[in-house]
Amino acid sequence: MAAHKLVLIRHGESNWNQENRFCGWFDADLSETGVKEATRGGQALKDAGFEFDICYTSVLKRATRTLWLVLDSIDQMWVPVHRTWRLNERHYGGLTGLNKAETAAKHGEAQVKIWRRSFDIPPPPMGPDHDYYAIISKDRRYADLTEDQLPSCESLKDTIARALPLRGIVKHLEGMSDEDIMELNLPTGIPILYELDKDLKPLKPMQFLGDKETVRKAMEAVAAQGKAKK
C-alpha cells in the first residue's frame, strides 16, 4: 500500500503552445483550450476522490492558473500553495518566441529535438539584444535573483540543478536514461499519479488520470510540436 501519493500535472495549453512557439520563461497565459484542459484535469482528480495537503507551482501564470482551476474543480482552494521560480520550466534562451516548426525547417528536426529534449545540451543563449530579454530579465518576480541565478538558457541538467521540474521529476522517479527522456511526451493538463513507499520510491510506473483517447491525443500533439511542417 502506498505511504504517499504524488500528483504531477503539466500546465494546460498556453497561448504560445497554441502558436507552437518556444516559451520557457516568457509568461504566456493559458489559451481557451488550456483552461478546458486544466478544468478537465481537475475533474479527473475529483472523480478519483483526491484530497491534497500542499501544492507547489512555478511563478509563471500558465502554471499558477492551471493550479487555480484544478483546486477550484476539486473544491480545495484552501490548500496551501508554495510558489517558486525554481519550478519554472527550462529557459529556452535565444529560441524564446520562435516558432518550433519554422525552427525545425531551418535547423533540422533532430537539432530542435536536442534543444527541446536533451538532458545536458542547452539551446543558444538569450543575449541583451533579444526581443524578450528585458521583459524576462527585468521582471519584478526575479528581482531577488543574483546574476548567476538568472539564466540566459538552460538544459534539463541545468534546470535540475535549481529544482526538479516536471520532466526532471519523472526522469528521477522512473530512473530514465538521458536518451529515454528525450522520447517522453508529457501531455498538457493531464494529471500524473505516482504511488510512493515510505522512502519516496515509486511502487509502480506513472499513471495518467483520464480517458486513454484524450491522453493519447494530448501526447501526440506534444510530439508534433518540434516537427517541420510538410
Flag whether 140 is marked binding.
Answer: no
* 88 annotated as ligand-binding: no
Q: Is 152 annotated as a binding residue?
A: no
Annotated binding residue at 21? Answer: no
- Cα separation, 54 vs 56, in Å, equals 7
Rounded-to-integer distance, Cα 153 and Cα 135, Å: 15
Q: Pick the catalytic residue: 37, 89, 130, 154?
A: 89
**11 among known catalytic residues:** yes
- 172 annotated ligand-binding residue: no
167 appears as a binding residue in the annotation: no
The distance of Cα 189 from the centroid of its chain, to the nearest Å, equals: 10
How many Å apart are CA 168 and CA 163, to the nearest integer?
8
- Look at residues 15, 11, 17, 28 and name the one whose alpha carbon lies nearest to residue 69: 11
Alpha-carbon separation of residue 105 from 100, 108, 124, 223 (angstroms): 9, 6, 17, 16
- 108 marked as binding residue: no
- Catalytic residue, chosen from 11, 37, 130, 154, is 11
109 is known as an active-site residue: no
106 carries a ligand binding annotation: no
User: Does 216 carry a binding-site annotation?
Assistant: no
Say whether 142 counts as a known binding-site residue: no
Which residues make Cβ contacts (< 8 Å) with residue 138, sequence separation at least 6?
A: none
Q: Describe the crossing of helices 61-73 and 32-47 by its angle, rounded to 10 degrees.
A: 40
Binding-site residues for substrate sit at: 10-17, 62, 89-92, 100, 116-117
The catalytic residues are: 11, 89
Binding-site residues sit at: 10-17, 62, 89-92, 100, 116-117
